[in-house]
Each structure stands twice: as C-alpha cells, then as structure tokens.
Amino acid sequence: MTSRTRSAEAAALAALLLAAATGCAGGSGATPGATTGRTGTAGTGAPSAAPGGASAPTGFTLVASGDVLPHDSVIQRAAEDADEAGYDFGPMLAGAKPVVSRADLAICHMETVYGEEGGPYTGYPAFKSPPEIAAALGATGYDSCSTASNHTLDDGPAGLRRTLDALDKAGVRHAGSARTAEEAARPTLLEAGGAKIAQLAYTYDTNGYPLPEGQPWAVKLLDENKVIADARAARAAGADVVVVSVHWGTEWQTEPDGRQLSLGRALTASRSGGRPDIDLIIGTHAHVPQAYEKVNGTWIVYGMGDQIAGDMINHEGSYDPRGNMSSIGRFTFAPPRTAGGRWEVTRAEFLPQWFDTAHGRVVNLAAAEGLDAHEAGIRDTIRQVVLGRGAAGDGLVMGK
C-alpha cells in the first residue's frame, strides 16, 4: 500500500502521488506436516468423540481479518499503552479479541515487517514495525497470518526473517514469505474441528524491490498457475480445506478490479478429483472494505480493509476515513456429507470493524451496543459495500 497518515500530509503530498502507481503497505517455520489450531466443535473449541473413542470431524469456524498496518501514529500509541516501556499492541486489538479468540481458527494479515529489537521503527513509506506486534496477535487469538504483501521486502531479507522469527516466538503460524527454500515449498497446515486446513498466501508485487538474490522463493508472487499448483500440492500434503490469502486489488477502490474478478473466477473454477482446489479466498491491500461474493460455489472476500492503520490519506491527498474501516469474515465449515467430498461453508458472516484512530482501538461495530450516529454510519457504509455484489442472496449475514 502506498498510503500514509495525515500527519505527513503537507510535506509528502508530491511523493505520495508519485508513489501511488506502485501500490501500498503489506511460510511456516514448523516442521513438515506439523499442524496447529484449536480443534473442536465449530465455534466452541469443545472436542467430540466418535464411537470407540476416536475423534470425529465436527466442523469449525474460521475468522479472517484485514491489514495490520502500523503507521508512526500507531507505533506511538503502542508505546503510550506500554507506558513508554516498549510497545503494547494488545489494547488496540482488544475490541476484536472476543470474535477472534472464540473462533476455532483465526487468520490475520501482517502487512509490514519487523525492525530489530529496540528499533528504530518506521512507518510509511518503508515500514519497520516493533516485533511486539507478534505477541499481541497471538494473545488476541490469531493462529496464523499471511505475510506476503507489497511491503514484505521493505527491509530486505533481514526484515523478512525477523518477522517470521517473531511470529514463531509468539506461536503464530505464517504463510506467504519464507526464510529457506524448504520452508517455502511446504504449505502451512493448521488443524481445527477434525480438518487439516492449508493457508497459502501471495502478493501482487513487492513495491519494486527485487526478490533477494538467490532466493526466488522468499515471497510468493501472485500467479494463477502457481496458486492452483500450490493448492493441489496442499491437498496432496493432507489438506481438507485450502484457504488462499491474496494481497491484490486497486487501492481506495471499493469495487473489485478486473484482475480480482477474472482471477477469482479462474481460481474458484479449478477442480481436481471432483472437488474444488480452493475453498476460500481472502483478499487484502485496497485499504477500503470490498465486497464478499460466492463464485463457482466458493466464497471470495475481495478486500477486508485495514484492521489497524493511522489516519489514512488517499491518492488525491485527502484524509479518507474509509482507510480505517474493515470487516472480519467468519465462515462455518461442516464435514463432508460423503466420503471424499468437500468441506462445505454452512454459514457465512461479516462483522464490520472500525479503527478509532483518536483512541487507537479496534471497534467491533456489529457487537457494540448504543452506537452513536457516526459509528452507525460507518457500520452501514461497510455493510453496503460488503453486500454490494449480491452476497446476501447467497446467505451472507452480519454477525455479532
């Protein structure tokens, strides 16, 4: 993403407009075949047993949220929340925690890379974020994060490595970038409700930064054939459900662009052995919420929006409140009705979110009671966009 915060507006407007053409701000370290996640009955985390004591597939809920994009103002807020003794991002995410922690599987998008312990840390245009974010994501309940974005190489391979190391330390899995060829070659496998879930992640670009010399596998770039091949490889590795996280689209555009639409159709149409190769597509990057749509029987979230970001400046150089709006997607998966069948999404929900930059807090607008007129307006704006491509007709509802 190219967008920055309002505090830099006057000094950097010309640079912003020039950079707008390049796009903005955004692998698993586990052993091959390892899985993590909260196994149990969908939405409860409670296990069930089949006759004879064997575990039976129960189904699961999966939640996914938008870009974590720490601008300078966000970093400063985290320092204040830590009483200037480091950085604490937990209070920022507290509004999302009830939704995230209750899911059987929760996925975030970590758009930026981390700086060295103690800093220095930077916001736009080349991000280096405090690694304390990883611990906050884990404490909020996230199981895995996509790490492929146009900011993945903002600090070269060192920044990429520090980010994955910090996520590993926090117990948060990751997909989309890698420290070794071996790590890049294996899918991130998670587990919930008796299913193995693969998370794959890709980005449209790296803001012109070349892939590190001799490391063409460091960041997964978005390519239709590659995504399909990886999805099939994930199935071969045991995945029952394949989730694809994609950093794509046109910034500040609520409508999905032509590439999103065409690539979404192609990916959801791909099938092997009588079932789709991909079971869910989760999009990030555009800064603004975009629609949900069921295509070829598979749900696509074209764009989640920014979960955490400073006051956002659009390509016209104006403060744009849409840059702090987002949604959380929540999908309930049920086990196949027949052997070898597909895990079906039986309930699809969205939860409108807002990052209140004045207080540095994520606000769940679906759960909040007594919304004021401003908050209700934000909720209604998000709902209109999310449902803008007819998803209500396929059963998408606003959750709580």
pLDDT tens-digit series, residues 352-369: 999 999 999 999 999 777
Integer distance in angstroms from the first to the last C-alpha of the chain? 29
pLDDT tier for residue 56 given thresholds of 50, 70 and 90: confident
392's CB contacts (< 8 A; 6+ apart) are: none
Residue found under tokens 């400046």: 313
CATH of the domain at 92: 3.60.21.10
pLDDT attached to residue 291: 98
pLDDT attached to residue 295: 98
Is 75 part of a structural domain of the chain? yes
Distances (CA, A) of 30 to 13, 83, 104, 132: 43, 34, 20, 21
pLDDT attached to residue 16: 33
pLDDT tier for residue 5 given thresholds of 50, 70 and 90: low
Give the whole-angstrom CA distance, residue 308 versus residue 328: 12
pLDDT attached to residue 339: 87
By 3-state DSSP, what share of the chain in percent is helix, strand and coil, each rounded to 5? 30, 25, 45
Residue found under tokens 């199935």: 235
Distances (CA, A) of 307 to 49, 230, 270: 37, 28, 30
Would you give the distance in Å from CA 27 to the centre of its chain? 14
- In tens, the pLDDT along 60-117 reads 999 999 999 999 999 999 999 999 999 999 999 999 999 999 999 999 999 999 999 9
Is 82 part of a structural domain of the chain? yes
- In tens, the pLDDT along 136-186 reads 999 999 999 999 999 999 999 999 999 999 999 999 999 999 999 999 999
Is 1 part of a structural domain of the chain? no
pLDDT attached to residue 37: 63
Distances (CA, A) of 23 to 18, 20, 36, 204, 390: 10, 6, 33, 9, 28
Give the whole-angstrom CA distance, residue 54 versus residue 156: 47
Q: Are 260 and 293 in contact (CB under 8 A)?
A: no
Mean pLDDT estimate for the chain: 90
Q: Which domain holds residue 146?
A: 6-398
Report how many domains make up the chain: 1
- In tens, the pLDDT along 260-313 reads 999 999 999 999 999 999 999 999 999 999 999 999 999 999 999 999 999 999
pLDDT attached to residue 38: 59
pLDDT attached to residue 369: 77
60's CB contacts (< 8 A; 6+ apart) are: 40, 42, 43, 104, 105, 192, 193, 194, 195, 197, 332, 333
Q: Are strands 298-301 and 280-284 parallel, antiparallel or unpaired?
A: parallel
Is 122 part of a structural domain of the chain? yes
